[in-house]
Amino acid sequence: MEKFQEGDLVVLIPTFKSKKKRKFVIKLKRGLKTHTHYGSFDHDYILNVSPGDVVETNTGFKFYALKATLVDAVFHFSEFKYATQIIYPRDWGLILSFADIKNGSKVVEIGTGSGAFTAFLVFRVGEKGFVYSYERDPERAETARKNLEKLCVPKRYVIKVRDVAKDGIDEKNVDVVFADIPEPWTIISHAYNALKPSGFFVAYIPTYNQIEKTLLELEKFPFIDIRIIEGFVRDIQPKHYAIRPELKGYYFSAYILFARKVLRKIQ
């Protein structure tokens, strides 16, 4: 049976009831111990068990040990540092589906932030794809680089420190240009020049005011098939005796705008 390996990201989920549903994500390394208020996890001990098994802290608290997902790591790995608010995972799949991002896609990301969505993109574009990420703040770029290394993200990406609105995009003929910046309308001309015909411009936009300015700028270029969507996700309480929506939740994240490049637009 498969055992955990050094370097694996492991999510530890309590077997007991806890009010906060606390999870821990650790990166296994021989000789290390991870300390929590439930006691310490011995990495050497976990390296001798299989995914799905139960492990104990030195104080006797039991946890299920599973291979961590990217979402687990982003939210529960203490070494993942937030430089900015991240794009929520609830929107990752929407962006992927509606922009047709797949194995082999070449994606330009404007606004690396903490690197969570960058990591997701890299895993999804596969060995034949690539992610070119631009971040204008050097400190945020460095935080994102460190986060991607800690998450063991394959080196199918590059992070460039640059203000795209001023200095443009190096790449040409890419499949998607994705913008998560406060003023996406300022980079639309650069996005158009970087995209291949039929490629997608995608913007992650939190307010109507920003959508209006983005739409006005899009009208100046040959973009068609414009669509704006909002993802709505509601958690349901998984208790057989009281199945209902959770009383607390995070319902709004942002609007997602999609537009496709054509060579000319007929008025």
Q: Is residue 83 part of a domain?
A: no
- 103 and 220 in a single domain? The answer is yes
Q: Is residue 267 part of a domain?
A: no
What is the pLDDT, as a whole number, of residue 190? Answer: 98
Q: Is residue 34 part of a domain?
A: yes
Q: Is residue 94 part of a domain?
A: yes
What is the pLDDT, as a whole number, of residue 35? Answer: 94
> What are the residue ranges in the chain where pLDDT is below 70?
19-21, 249
Single residue among 76, 107, 122 that ends a domain in this structure? 76
Q: Which residue has the tokens 């070449």?
A: 106
What is the pLDDT, as a whole number, of residue 237? Answer: 84
Q: Is residue 3 part of a domain?
A: no
- 45 and 165 in a single domain? The answer is no
Q: For the domain that residue 64 is a member of, what is the CATH number?
A: 3.10.330.20
Q: Is residue 84 part of a domain?
A: no
- Burial (CB < 10 A; 0-12, 13-18, 19+), residue 252, is exposed
Residues in contact with 260: Cβ distance below 8 Å, sequence separation at least 6, in sequence order: 198, 199, 200, 201, 223, 224, 225
State pLDDT tens for residues 14-69: 998 876 668 999 999 999 999 998 999 999 999 999 999 999 999 999 999 999 99
- 154 and 186 in a single domain? The answer is yes
- 183 and 58 in a single domain? The answer is no
Amino acid in position 200? F
- 233 and 255 in a single domain? The answer is yes
Q: For the domain that residue 177 is a member of, what is the CATH number?
A: 3.40.50.150
What is the pLDDT, as a whole number, of residue 19? Answer: 65
Q: Which domain holds residue 19?
A: 9-76
- 127 and 67 in a single domain? The answer is no
- 34 and 162 in a single domain? The answer is no
Q: Is residue 81 part of a domain?
A: no
- 46 and 164 in a single domain? The answer is no
Q: Are 259 and 226 in contact (CB under 8 A)?
A: yes
Single residue among 18, 53, 76 that ends a domain in this structure? 76
What is the pLDDT, as a whole number, of residue 119? Answer: 97
Single residue among 51, 76, 101 that ends a domain in this structure? 76
What is the pLDDT, as a whole number, of residue 75? Answer: 93
Predicted model pTM? 0.91
**Alpha helices (runs of H) in 105-137, residue ranges in sequence order:** 116-125
What is the pLDDT, as a whole number, of residue 21? Answer: 64
Q: Is residue 109 part of a domain?
A: yes
- 112 and 222 in a single domain? The answer is yes
- 70 and 98 in a single domain? The answer is no
Q: Name the domain count of the chain.
A: 2
- 194 and 138 in a single domain? The answer is yes
* Token reading at 148: 């991607």
- 115 and 221 in a single domain? The answer is yes
